[in-house]
Amino acid sequence: MILHVDMDAFYASVEEREQPELIGRPVIVAGSPQGRGVVAAASYAARKFGVHSAIPTSTALRLCPQAIVIAPRHGFYAQVSDQIREILLRYTPLVEPLSLDEAFLDVTGCEALFGSAVEIGRRIKREIRDELRLTASVGVAPNKFLAKIASDLKKPDGFVVVDRQAVQAFLDPLPVGRLWGVGRVTGAAFEKLGLRTIADVRQLPVDELRRRFGEWGEHLAQLARGIDDRPVVPDREAKSISHETTFAVDLDDCEILRSWLRELTEHVGCRLRRHGLKGRTVNLKVRFADFQTITRAKTLPQPTDITDEIWTAAAELLATKLPAQGGRIRLIGVGVSGFEASAQVQQSLFPDAERERRTQLDAAADQIRERFGAASLNRGSGLLHETRHKPLPRPEALP
């Protein structure tokens, strides 16, 4: 069985834990409203006003003027994430993190030691609450797709179990938007076909789905039947480390996208350094509003875990390697692959002083942000506040 553990409003909840007077108030973890800041997380009290991640901080404050804005402390959140990971690893070595605040666990081989998957899920929730004073929602199911849906159904502090014998009964009543990848545009296409629930999709012939949606239609048919054969892949066995975000509102603002890309790059760099990994290839993933998904990659001259080197490559891919008519963007992600363990990377007889300086800068920056918050230190490549609003540039169409 698979567990999906998803922390509730993670950044905001950590800040509430550190400042109990914030509990129950609308808290927004975000960049400066005076610049091009965007919301990274919002408490459930703020979400009642329509505030969600990825929107500009200035928009969030128009929706909820009484909100308390806190600058993100990524280094500190990463430390808390490590503590959560330690709890998860008590029960299985098969832990696949998706980001700082969520992970899949395969507990199939551990039930003889710790009890059923349901018991393990409840123990994990309890230990996170008792030891870290945070809440997690947990989904327990036969596969990753079902577990992720389950963890999201009764947030916050949810716990949903999908029995192997009741998969279709669980899925059929759910809205079609619960299928991975069905956003606003695809949802409208399903609406025109009269398909409103997962049961409606399942009852449509696979050939018809394939005709209308291509290869993705066949994938939808599998998901509508609760079929997902992907294994849980631990970080140490993964071929890449990546981080991505899906926007609640599709974006075409270049600087907001760059700002998100910067934040995602910080997460990836941090995870690489925590696991002692360096990679040669930087990967950019973009999903457009029509669900067209593309990836672009750049190979570096030498393996790296340096945030600025990853960011420079990712920003170049964003600026120059997207299709000319791609349209608005609903998801963006960055990753690093082509790993060589840090200890295995050949050392130069003539060390690069600039790279050593950047390595030291990463370590120092993490410590400063952990103590004083993200706004206390900005990198040159991240100073986006002085740039005017402009649409995402569209270069020549790629072959």
pLDDT, one tens digit per residue, over 348-357 is 544 567 767 7
Cβ contact 384:259 at 8 Å:
yes
CA–CA separation, 185 vs 172, rounded Å? 21
pLDDT at 396 over 60: no
Active site residue 208: no
290-305: string of b/e by CB count within 10 Å (b at 16+)? ebeeeebebebeebbb
Q: 16, 96, 102, 244: which is the annotated catalytic residue?
A: 102
CA–CA separation, 198 vs 216, rounded Å? 15
**Fold entry, domain 10-74:** MutS, DNA mismatch repair protein, domain I (3.40.1170)
Structure tokens given for 258? 């760059």
Residue in this structure with the two tokens 């941090």, named with its chain if needed: 270
Residue range 2-6+78-167 in CATH 3.30.70.270: yes
Residues of the chain with CATH 3.30.1490.100: 239-382
pTM score > 0.85 for this model?
Answer: no
Q: At 35, is the pLDDT very low, low, confident or very high (cuts 50, 70, 90)?
A: low
pLDDT at 85 over 50: yes
Residue range 239-382 in CATH 3.40.1390.40: no
The H or E element that residue 222 is part of is helix 215-224
pLDDT of residue 110: 86
**Fold entry, domain 175-223:** DNA polymerase; domain 1 (1.10.150)
Three-point CA angle 74, 78, 81, nearest 5°: 135
Mean pLDDT score, 123-135: 97
Residues of the chain with CATH 3.30.70.270: 2-6+78-167
Strand pairing partners for 41?
Answer: 29
Residues of the chain with CATH 1.10.150.20: 175-223
Cβ contact 131:271 at 8 Å:
no
pLDDT of residue 349: 47
Q: List, in order, residues 6 or more apart from 64 with CB less than 8 Å away.
A: 26, 28, 46, 49, 50, 51
pLDDT of residue 244: 83
Residues of the chain with CATH 3.40.1170.60: 10-74
